Amino acid sequence: MPHILVVDDDEDITTLLTQYLGRFGFTAHAAGDARAMRAQLAAHPIDLVVLDVMLPGEDGITLARELRARSRLPIIMLTARANPYDCVLGLEMGADDYMGKPFEPRELVARIQNVLRRAALPDAQALQASADAVVRFDGWTLRGLERHLVSPRGVVVPLSNAEFRLLCTFLRSPRSIFRREQLMEQARGRAMDAFERSIDLLVSRLRQKLAGDPRDPSLIKTVRGVGYLFNSQTVQGMAAWPR
């Protein structure tokens, strides 16, 4: 049975969720702050962390950064603030998904199952075993193991986890028009809901990294009223990559 750690300072929420998750075959643990979270991680073989953004002392963003620095433990963040910057920051810190409060517990269960399913895929191992762990497009090189880009001039451009997944989504269907909700469903495994501007922020960050001049967004085009188009002329090596 997967072990789930719920980190939230609201005891009503942690009590409800730990009991509810148990009904779906999970072993659930609770923590109200950073110290309790670390204690639970040391005491149990945690498979996924449900992490609230607003915590006393060290907040959820800080803890997500700490978790990601030392492991690939899946993280789902909870936020009561309908601010797209908070959501993007959580994703940049390495969170696998997020949910806004209030939420339906059954939806959280579905998200947990989805993230655990993705985590079980041999993503990094498949890339390492593949002879095609490098993708080339329009003079750029994307290296899957290091998760960074090399520009046509040979400059290394690091990518966050969210930027890497977004770029892979574009590269799988170059010159196709993506609606905003499609990008988030494919790159993050969920629709944007109330945080639809978050995808615009992610696209803007990736666009700046792909352009020597941010005012010349030659690769990522905005299709007014529709979404975005990745204007790459040639993509080599993407077909061999795992989804």
Give the C-alpha separation, 42 to 62, whole Å: 18
Instruction: Answer with the residue of higher pLDDT: 103 or 7.
Output: 7
With a CB cutoff of 8 Å and minimum separation 6, the contacts of 95 are 51, 64, 75, 76, 77
Tell me the angle at which helices 180-188 and 197-210 cross, rounded to the nearest 10 degrees. 80
H-helix or E-strand containing 223? strand 220-223
126-170 residue pLDDT tens: 444 444 478 889 889 998 777 788 888 888 888 877 788 888 888
12-67 residue pLDDT tens: 999 999 999 999 999 999 999 999 999 999 999 999 999 998 899 999 889 998 88
Mean pLDDT of the chain: 81
* pLDDT, position 81: 60
| Domains defined for the chain, CATH in brackets | 3-120 (3.40.50.2300), 124-240 (1.10.10.10)
User: Quick one: tokens of 51?
Assistant: 């992490």
**In this structure, are residues 56 and 45 in contact, taking their beta carbons and an 8 Å threshold?**
no
Three-state DSSP state, 50: strand
**In this structure, are residues 76 and 48 in contact, taking their beta carbons and an 8 Å threshold?**
yes
Q: Where does the pLDDT of residue 121 fall: very low under 50, low under 70, confident under 90, or very high at 90 and above?
A: low
Mean pLDDT of 2-20: 94
Instruction: Answer with the residue of higher pLDDT: 215 or 145.
Output: 145
